[in-house]
Amino acid sequence: MYFSSIFLLIFLITFKAHSLVIETINEYGPKKNYPDLNILSSTDVDVFEPLIKLFVKDNKQIRIRYVTASTSDIYKEITNSNKSNFDLVISSAMDLQMKLANDGFALDIENIEKSAIPEWSMWRKQIVGFSIEPIVTVISKADFNIKIPKTRRDLISILRNNPNKFYKKIITYDINKSGAGFLFASQDERQSESFWRLAEVMGSLKTKVVCCSSKMLDAVNSRESYIAYNIIGSYAEQRARKQKNLIVVYPYDYTLLLLRSAIIPKNSKNKANANIFLKFLLSKPGQKILEKKGMLSIKNKKIFKKGNIKLIRLDTGLLVYLDKLKRKRFLSEWNEALFQ
């Protein structure tokens, strides 16, 4: 078996209307001049690598190229480029995946037995969820000598009562750039009456905004930040096991639960291989590997005992905040609150 890995900080592939900013490229399987399956994903390669290695071991004729990028760039790539060569799109931004499918950019997924997955993890035959992710808060153990906030109201109260302590010490997604971050914030507004109060308090304390979970976790672990708000749970738990300064909090008022999902884009040149890979991903061996890497299987039931879990439903309701006027209004209010 041949395996090669190429890590890139920034790599631009330029098309007529869009430049895809690639974070990493990794290739697996037999040595060939071209891959038999091109995967574009927002999921860190460290999580998927064991699964892909087992897949190519059992499917020795298939060479896989696994490319990672941000959720927003993934969406732009599939919608803006007729020359896109990707066969499978994996993303944590459920709303953007839904829009791709709803707007005709996805093919039907074949050979997925409905009994193999929960009913709520598939939309029509075009989007399938393969893992679930709680959205959590992470705090710095070394810098939190006060009561840990169990709810968003608790967090608001703590921040208001300790402004000097938390000034420039909070970090969250930049929802102007992060598709996943935008999804979490818009779902917060739907779930919580205190969302905008929290946003305003965070803004008054000069909260830092970044692209991704890894930067938030780095900031809290190094004590540059004391609180990371709205962060993907599997990344947080995985890091917290090694970095003891990280405390993962599942908000008791509600903890959002998203689906990492996959679609086969309409321009796929290897849709048969994409379907074979998806079937393996949803199989018991595939799901077991994800669990070992800290992600939650689509059939995991223990997470629903963590507290007040609110599943983000995989339906067209996700498109509400992607309406141009509503999205523009939401971003305007968020920016006004965060950047005072």
Fold of 133-256+320-338: D-Maltodextrin-Binding Protein; domain 2 (3.40.190)
Q: Which of 95, 335, 86, 85 is nearest to 209 (CA)?
A: 335
Cβ contacts of 89 within 8 Å, gap of 6 or more: 39, 40, 41, 74, 78, 97, 100, 262, 263, 264, 265
Distance CA 26, CA 219 (A): 27
Which residue is it, tokens 């609180």?
A: 227
Q: Which residue has the tokens 């690639």?
A: 22
120-148 pLDDT, tens per residue? 999 999 999 999 999 999 999 999 888 89
CB 30 within 8 A of CB 63: yes
pLDDT for 6 equals 43
Which of 88, 73, 97 lies closest to 319 in space, CA to CA?
97
- pLDDT of 10 higher than 50: no
Domain extent listing, the chain:
3-131+259-309, 133-256+320-338
Q: What is the pTM of this model?
A: 0.84
Query: CATH topology of 3-131+259-309 equal to that of 133-256+320-338?
Result: yes
Question: What is residue 82's predicted lDDT score, i.e. its pLDDT?
Answer: 67
Domain 3-131+259-309 matching CATH 2.40.37.20: the answer reads no
Please give the mean pLDDT across all residues of the chain.
89
Handedness of CA 92, 68, 294, 219 (dihedral sign): negative
CB-CB contact of 268 with 278 (8 Å): no
pLDDT tens digits along 73-111: 999 999 986 667 899 999 988 999 999 999 999 999 998
Distance from C-alpha of 340 to C-alpha of 330, rounded to nearest angstrom: 16
- Tokens 């690598």 found at: 49
Confidence check: pLDDT of 16 > 80: no
pLDDT of residue 46: 87
Q: Which of 86-100, 102-116, 184-198, 205-219 has the lowest mean pLDDT?
A: 102-116
Q: For the beta carbon of residue 213, count every other beta carbon within 10 angstroms.
A: 24
Radius of gyration of the chain (CA): 20
Chain length of the chain: 340
pLDDT band at 19 (very low <50, low <70, confident <90, very high): confident
Distance CA(106)–CA(126), nearest Å, equals 6
